[in-house]
Structure 1
């Protein structure tokens, strides 16, 4: 059944879309309900990132556009947001026109069809802007921020109008300056802002932007793998093909990060076994890829099941989801006992519990394409998205040195 929006504001709609994003990794639904652990590790390693972020430049486009609008005379929050949406769309159109081959242009396909995206750059990057202390409006959402800005501008405008009825020219001039100085609101920490930013817009970060974003991540996320890699310029991390291959250089990180990495890697393998079994159940044993994968994994089940699940739960605060923890503990017991039938039943019951018998795929074995793969592969913990941001920072910094 398709999703529809009934009497929802844009903010409420985006909250629902955000929940759907949290259920997915690279577009794959979290069929077995382990998002608490996946996102817990993701936030430990790469805070401020998400699976739908594309390029680092959007950490600047959003505040630049909003700073422009703060300086405008607009006091209606709906008009403010509409104008902002048009600026974001114009940025996408400019990217498509000037550099159509650039990777990560948000809305590129929608714009090609004359449309615009439901999830705008601001929707995608807002949490990261807060995380990195670029937006300093606390937990305000975009729409709440717009209302706050317009309300403050409206009050200042009223003060000016009141002052203009008084015959005090010097005081009027002071009021005008105060009303126009929207910078006193201090919603944004963005020293790279230039009022002519749109005229020389490009996806590549300037040296100043790259240095600023790097510094903000280091300052705001100091205990994370992301911040440590940036602070110590471990640029070789960008060359790792996936989260698992990071194992080759994990020794360069502090001991606790090494332990967290090993736990996350172990859990990815553990969860992958369950995803393989899920596909076997769905296909009623006819998915050849799933069968081959399980044959390859079966001799390793006891090693994989030796994972310290309690440590995983502790590091990701997963105890808040006791039923998920019980499911994973039971799955561990099934793997240790090489009890495939128990594992199949656990996976089937877990999906039924999460979705209900009507929507659970496992309740209808054999009714799906036996060559299709459902539920995703090994977990990446937003590694690819974080490395794209890191690469953008590296290119922005290094290009400046090469030009000088």
Structure 2
């Protein structure tokens, strides 16, 4: 085996694979706090190596290049993307957007309430950024990029990798804008971002997040190659697409030419916190928009949020074991304490739509009575049926 120097960013491929397997295996029963501390540097190494290996899409005037640029441009043309990136330029999300998260990390009379709209001049700055945007600044993981370039346009492999590259583009643009530190907000951004409610006893409220531009599932800035800027990138991707795009890597390894539909991991207030697989019609609508020539921005099917028809779902705590991710380092494995906490959490029909059918079945059964139950608890319908049966027996 090749020598591996932990002080170097580059990781030999065979060692990188060992790290991935080790990290995935540890999630079955959760980690101890000590194990999590030990795993974190490994994830950081993988993340750093992943960034170092990224390559730009060289302008080759191929059909593939044109279609990728078109997909990114079509997403950027939407008002949703414009408003999302404008908030990063401003330096703060608007109050409505800040609260529009399943787990917003906010409490009490948070001063973000003061920020009802983005500041004057920000939208114009965002429009200029969009008009001047050069897709050549983007860089990608070489594996999905090569797969995209080799795939036949219109094939499942081409379509899946196109969605992946477009999602990465939205993430990277959000990351870049945050790193530029434009922060056009007319006010004290730090005061709002770092505010935390105190209890009467002087205890602090919810733990502070590194930024208000955050998705509850992607907060590991101590792992990400671009730190807090990557946290912002995941937030931007989620706000634009409807969720962070992740992939069934296990199934892709078994049948590389026929990858399953994409999964989204959303952070909207009234959306499921579970990973949900896009239905065929949802994925096709997204692809149709990405590939369309000069589509009306209002025709964009984004954000794509789960409804009862998205029946394929996975608990976020099990995603790593199931190899559902874009990058193995994007989320730390959960601890045993966290899994214990989650197991006691009430389950909502928003997250488990199959419960609706179960509840409906219970209610229907109750409406029609339950055989073998207490006669005193029979419904009027059950009593009527018994009377009719009795009359039939007398004829």
TM-score by length of 1: 0.21
Greater helix proportion: 1
TM-score by length of 2: 0.22
- Structure with larger RCO (C-alpha < 8 A, sep 6+): 1
